[in-house]
Structure 1
């Protein structure tokens, strides 16, 4: 196995982009998108953990719901990474870098009650929503309407899932 490594672009390097976005603006947007990417992956891993560990009378419905939620998060992360690459940046990908860049902190490795798990997902989802709203405003103010549009679409999806979590956590239920 070769130990030679040829670096094409440093992780913190921002290259000229073909989208004709000023490099100083692109740097700010790339930084914001890497934060969103880290937050999205953090939420993805926590939701996926709960998808794997869900038990109880509502197992089937919640298992499916969390699987769909995780899938949407994974797609959002992919779009975020591709967008920041098109702006001349390098998407963060290593677990250490993702953890350091993420504005949200996942729960630990233990398995919690379903209610606690969904509460934790709802709380983290709300935190990610707040970060995305800030970045929508940033990208709009910097004139990157395409990134703002992408984030708005992702925000709408995330808000729908967080709203559904809220419904799952309501006290009114037929299950005893």
Structure 2
């Protein structure tokens, strides 16, 4: 199962924590998946930002730029939280690729509304994953991780809402 802390962390990086090693390991795994997904969602949002077209170009371009900045801002905090509790965090794009659950989109062209809908679903996925990680942190009595995730959940729900509203059909109450 999980290895001892000394098998995973160099003694020079062995951050002291009052959390049991099993809690550190479990929370670190959960946060590293969130971190991989944040990098994947950041790059997808930037991809769509760079390739958006159409009559709402400026609004969508600015929206996606703002959202990508918000997503990127979470990465350092997630990684540092892993380190604060004594875990090891991601070290490479290869690790991101192995852990991410957000699917890449490498299509040559994606219509603007489809871009926004895809990002809306990805943000919903992230919020659900953050809730699971929050529950795990609560179970392990890690209030620092839980508190950090509460803010990120709120920001992710806000992005989801904005993407939903941007994709609604004019004169329609349904998306």
Q: Same fold (TM over 0.5)?
A: yes
Q: Return the offset for 1:110.
A: 2.2
Residue from 49, 54, 57 that aligns with 1:56: 54
Superposed, which structure 2 residues align to 1:149-164 within 5 Å? 149-164=147-162
Q: Partners of 1:105 and 1:93 in 2: how far apart? A: 20
Q: Which residue of 2 aligns with 1:13?
A: 8
Q: Return the offset for 1:118.
A: 0.8
Q: Return the offset for 1:104.
A: 2.0
Gapped runs of 5+ residues in structure 2?
none
Q: Tell me whether 1:165 sits opposite 2:160 in the alignment.
A: no
TM-score by length of 2: 0.87
Q: Partners of 2:60 and 2:73 in 1: how far apart? A: 20
Given that 1:16 and 1:23 are in contact with CA atoms closer than 8 Å, whether structure 2 keeps it comes out as: no
Q: Which residue of 1 aligns with 2:137?
A: 139
TM-score by length of 1: 0.86
Deviations 1:27-74 (Å, cap 9, x if unpaired)? 111000101001111111100101111112211111111111000100
Superposed, which structure 2 residues align to 1:23-102 within 5 Å? 23-102=21-100
Q: How many residues align?
A: 163
Moved over 4 A (4+): none
Deviations 1:68-113 (Å, cap 9, x if unpaired)? 1000100111100111111222221322210111122122242211
Gapped runs of 5+ residues in structure 1?
1-9
Given that 1:48 and 1:67 are in contact with CA atoms closer than 8 Å, whether structure 2 keeps it comes out as: yes
Local SS of the residue matching 1:33: helix
Q: Partners of 2:82 and 2:151 in 1: how far apart? A: 16
